[in-house]
A and B are shown apart, each in its own frame.
Chain A
Amino acid sequence: MPLARVAPSPDLIFQSSVHHAGHFGTDKKPSAMKDDEFGRSATMVFEKSLTAMVKGIRAHRGNESEYIQACITEIQKEVASKNMSTKSMAVLKLAYLTMLGYDMAWATFAVVEVMGTNRFATKRPGYLASSISFTDQTDVGLLTINLFKKDFGSQSQYESGTAINCLSNICSAEISRDIMTDLLSLLSSSRAYLRKKTVLCLYRIFLKDPPALRTCFPKLKDRLGDEDQGVLTATVNTFLELARKNARNYLSLVPQLYHILVNTQNNWLSIKLLKVFQLLSPLEPRLPAKLVEPLTNILNTTKAQSVEFEAIRCVVRSMPEGSAIVALAIEKLQTFLNSSDRNLRFLALDLYKEVVEKFKEKTSLKDLHDKVLTSIEEPDLTVRRVALQLLDRIVDPSNFQEAVQRLLEFSRKATLNDEFIGTILRMAARDRYALVEDFAWYLLILGEISRNMDSSYAATVAEQFVDICVRVPQVRPYAVTLALGLLDTPAEAERDSISVCTPMVAACAWLLGEYSGDLEKPSEAAFLSGAKVLLTSRSIQALDAATQTQCIWAASKLYLAVPEHAPSTVAQLHELLCSQLPSFVRSTHLDVSERARLALNIANFYKADAQSLQSAKGLVAEQLLPVKPDAQAQVPVSVDLDEPFFVIEEARPSFMPVRADPTDPYSLASTYKDDLGFASEPNRAEAPQSTAQGVPSSSMYYLGKSDERAAAEQAQEPSVPEVKDPLAQMRERLEAQRNAGAPKYQVMRDDVTAPGATPTPDAGQVPSSSSTATLPIPPEKELTDLQGRLWTVCHRGEHLAVYVCIRSPNLRKRQIRLELRCERLCAPELLVSDVALRFPSAAHVQEADASGRMLVVGSLQERSSKVKANLDSAPFLWPGVFDLRCELEYLVKSASWKPQRLFGELPRIGPQDGVAFYQTASDVIISPAVIAPIGTPSSQRIPTRDGFHRG
């Protein structure tokens, strides 16, 4: 570090800085030397001037930090110096280093010292350093109060000005309180320079010390009449910032501000005033009318674009719809939109978002639509985002298709195409596909999008694909064919891999399995190739477990549905399943293995026998009902399990809504099958023929490897039709469909909830059915109230019935209280007595005697009184259903009988025949479910175990 150690003479600095300047291609004398007031006096006193240090840093490329460390060590010595010039220079150098990322918190005290020097030359760097490095948290801040007071009273306006500048940066509530009077006197200073700075500084102070606003307000308001334009602008500025916090307080200023707006020619001032009026006009209904004239004036005369733009914005935000000035403003906005300046175009687009929202502006929409579509293509991400947001708002069914096509085109070109895709999906899904008129076309678009393997919207695409098929029955035949085509796509390079994204594979597989009946007739080939692609594609086994499971099950569903739709291929499908599933059984994923084993067993059970398969139809005939996550809570409490939970209504209307759970594709299953004859519509193009068609005669044992064979065969046989991109085929088909007249789609836009459930407010309309009317369902809240009121039969035998009732659980004692009661059922001549209930040992029943719990001592009349049992709730501390198996013992006497002791088993407490215990995080919810009668006479038997004999 030679330069660092030697104190450079002014000449040396001069030469070397010239060298540097030349190096950077400037030939002028560097102003570094123009007035190096420190450099000259410094040579004797301290080691380096600022210039020398900066130069040193530049000369030490590569090991700057080492050099800077050395400088800081020097500065530490200089800061301790008695010489104020030295100290001041050291502080200035530190301020420079702060900018490079070096801490100067250790030198705060020195900074205050330098600020307190008498000479402006040393004081100024101190103020600079403090406004760079101090915040309102700096602890030495309080030391500055007296310095500020002193400098505010200085002869020189610049000393006061520098102090005000610094104050605006480091002010805290404490400083503000001590300094207020001095500031107030500055506010009426004779120098405009100081008044202006003070007015602007005051806003910072109000932020730190809100009560100060009250004291200052009258004086600040006086400044609105200041004759100096600068002070006036500054005052309006301060009021603008204040009004942003709470505009209502400043309504009283409207007359003065209005007067200024009408009379000023100053652009800066106009913009600030327009901003204030934007804030005030919503609060004062008379204001917009008053503003029409000055705003029109500004719009028509101003030459400054910033003022014009602000005026437009003011009109858009404050004027009512339909007025002439709005039309004028929108017209002006159009010129901004067509401007060659990128910034103006961006601002205009951004403002158009507000226009469209507020005025529902329709007149210029067509033009706007084109403009927006061009803006989307801009390379500028900011513009593009705004344009996409705007497009989202202006699109309607008539231009939706065009917009989507354009977005898709851009997304192919763009590297970052997720925004485009996201916009397409968002627009389409809005209001349950309100914009989509042609669903077949939209499915095709989804298919195209899903070709992009790594889009972050892959899951959304798949979800929409399934959702649409569930909601629009008419589109299913097209969708299933498309799904098969997508799965069966031979990618260019690898013939064997699937070229759509993983979630889409799962979606296609599910559709294929679920709606196989919609496959085009004759559907033998489609069934075969569908099952084949689901099971034999090598890439399937590389996908995640959930997708593999979907594929396996979809193939099984095809097999189960085959007798109905393609009876001739039963044997082939069976062979395929038997040959392919074992490799899935060996999968490392448990789910996959389990599902494959199940499917294999089903296949082995029914064999290739169409007759027996017919009987298996029941396995998949019932379509899954979508169940809301909270459906369980809505199930009525006292239904009999023998009755069906859901009343199956025949012949539901086709617009019967279906609920979609976005997370679970299975939940999208629909209960609605009718498709209004869409399938029989004439003029439909040929379904895409899969490659499997070429090899139907080859042995099914070789299907696993048949792709190579198929490829070889194709090479040999020129007669095999050329494999086309299924998307292209589907597109042709769509065209054909359209030519034949666009199909009418009916969309199920509403969600279905569990029948009998209380509709939640957001669930949309629930169709009323007779079953809902008869079942009063308590909402979940009231469940606790129900506890203790509902007696449930837990045993009904030949002679007696036992009822149980669950009281609210005592969480503190961890107990659940049961109340029991028994009722005689037998003929009056029989005498039932000494009924006892014995709980299992795990239940820790309090108050139980050694052998069991007595319900009734002596003979049982009509009904026994209540008997309480406290169960330890420890076994029920986590959610679930638990068995509570009890034994019942009683004596039956009759005139003709010898007394005999009967004893039966109380039902288990379980979902079907007992009491279900559920627990949420903090509260045990016990929902008594229904108990089917168990104690049939055969289950009653004479006790043989010794323990049960009494007396």
Chain B
Amino acid sequence: MINFILLISRQGKTRLKKWFVPCPERDQFRTIKEVSSLILNRSPKVCNFLEWRDYKLCYKRYASLFFIACIEQNDNELLALEMVHHFVECLDRYFGNVCELDLIFNFHKAYYILDEILISGELQESSKRAVLHHISEQDAMMQENEQAKRKG
């Protein structure tokens, strides 16, 4: 099970944080600080897993962003990396060659996509096409609402 997902820029800025287990805000920030300093300081030549407290951190760097997933000791690390990659691919397809700026200006979209991929720390949809289909349907619903409101 994934405990939390973090997107952190190379400068250490949080671009997305999602805790699947309830965690007080203060602890979240302490964790972000700790985890990001750990991961940003790792050289690119090292492996993508590290042990942290009682958990394992699986991370991968995509361009300027680090995608970090915190999983439990007995979870499969490779699977976690694949999940992260799945998320990145969905983002990429949705935004079309996604860049950090997309996630800054559309942070809520990133959350919506994540919500379609993971729920309570587990993967719910492994098909990219299905994820994008659900997202575009919901986007359409929002548009309809807007238009309905403007007409009315």
Contact = CB atoms under 8 A, between A and B. Distances in A.
30 contacts: A21-B99, A32-B105, A35-B139, A41-B149, A50-B108, A51-B105, A85-B149, A92-B108, A99-B14, A99-B15, A103-B25, A120-B141, A158-B141, A169-B19, A197-B119, A200-B120, A203-B122, A233-B126, A237-B122, A244-B74, A268-B126, A306-B82, A342-B45, A343-B48, A343-B49, A347-B78, A379-B45, A380-B42, A380-B43, A383-B47
Interface string A28-39: 101110010100
A28 B45 CA distance: 31
Interface of A: 17, 20-21, 24, 26, 28, 30-32, 35, 37, 40-41, 50-51, 54-55, 58, 85, 92, 95-96, 98-101, 103, 105, 119-122, 124-125, 128, 131-133, 135-137, 156, 158, 161-162, 164-165, 168-170, 193, 196-197, 200-201, 203-204, 230, 233-234, 237-238, 241, 244, 268, 271, 275, 305-306, 309-310, 342-343, 345-347, 378-383
Interface string B61-103: 0000000000000101111011000000000000111011110
Contact of A158 (B1, B22, B46, B134): B134
A301 B80 CA distance: 22
Given A136-B22, A201-B119, A382-B47, A26 B101 contact: yes
A226 to B, nearest CB: 13
A208 to B, nearest CB: 9
A92 B123 CA distance: 25
A718 to B, nearest CB: 52
B71 to A, nearest CB: 12
B61 to A, nearest CB: 13
Contact of B22 (A21, A41, A137): A137
B40 to A, nearest CB: 15
B25 A120 contact: no
B134 A382 contact: no
Nearest to B64: A24
Contacts of A135: 22-24
Interface residues of B, number: 63
A120 B23 contact: no
A827 to B, nearest CB: 82
Given A21-B101, A95-B108, A380 B122 contact: no
Closest 7 A-B residue pairs measured CB to CB?
Answer: A380-B46, A306-B78, A32-B105, A121-B145, A135-B22, A168-B120, A121-B142
Given A121-B145, A310-B76, A343-B49, 15 more contacts: A26-B101, A92-B108, A99-B14, A121-B141, A121-B146, A124-B142, A158-B141, A200-B119, A230-B124, A237-B123, A343-B48, A345-B47, A347-B77, A380-B42, A383-B47
A-side interface mostly: helix
A203 B142 contact: no
B146 A41 contact: yes
Nearest to B115: A165
Contact of B123 (A268, A305, A345): A268
Contact of B138 (A96, A119, A158, A244): A158
B74 to A, nearest CB: 7
Contacts of A26: 97, 99, 101
B112 A128 contact: yes
B109 to A, nearest CB: 8
Contacts of B101: 20-21, 24, 26, 30, 32
B50 interface: yes
B20 interface: yes
A54 B145 contact: no
Contacts of B50: 381-382
B143 interface: yes
Contacts of A237: 122-123
B106 interface: yes
B152 to A, nearest CB: 11
A165 B97 CA distance: 27
A103 B28 CA distance: 12
Nearest to A313: B76
A789 B7 CA distance: 75
Contacts of B119: 164-165, 168, 197, 200-201
A774 to B, nearest CB: 55
A96 B20 contact: no
A30 B112 contact: no
Contact of B76 (A30, A133, A309): A309
A119 B143 CA distance: 11
B141 A125 contact: no
Nearest to B32: A101
Residue with the greatest number of chain B CB neighbours at <10 A, chosen from A28, A99, A381: A99
Nearest to A269: B126
B37 to A, nearest CB: 14
B99 A234 contact: no
B111 A193 contact: no
Contacts of B141: 120-121, 156, 158
Contacts of B149: 41, 85, 119, 121
A55 B104 CA distance: 9
Given A54-B104, A128-B108, A275-B74, A343 B81 contact: yes
A346 B49 contact: yes
Interface in B9-50: 14-20, 22-25, 29, 42-43, 45-50
Contacts of B106: 31-32
Interface in B122-152: 122-126, 134, 137-139, 141-143, 145-146, 148-150
Contacts of A383: 46-47
B122 A200 contact: yes
A37 B142 contact: yes
Given A135-B24, A345-B47, A346-B49, A204 B120 contact: yes
Contacts of B125: 196, 230
A691 B24 CA distance: 67
Contacts of B17: 99, 132
Contacts of B45: 342, 379-380
Contacts of A346: 47, 49
B145 A342 contact: no
Nearest to A165: B115
A306 B71 CA distance: 15
Given A32-B102, A101-B29, A156-B141, A241 B124 contact: no
A309 B76 CA distance: 9
B111 A132 contact: yes
Given A32-B106, A135-B22, A382 B51 contact: yes
Contacts of A103: 25
Nearest to A122: B145
Given A31-B102, A99-B14, A128-B112, A169 B46 contact: no
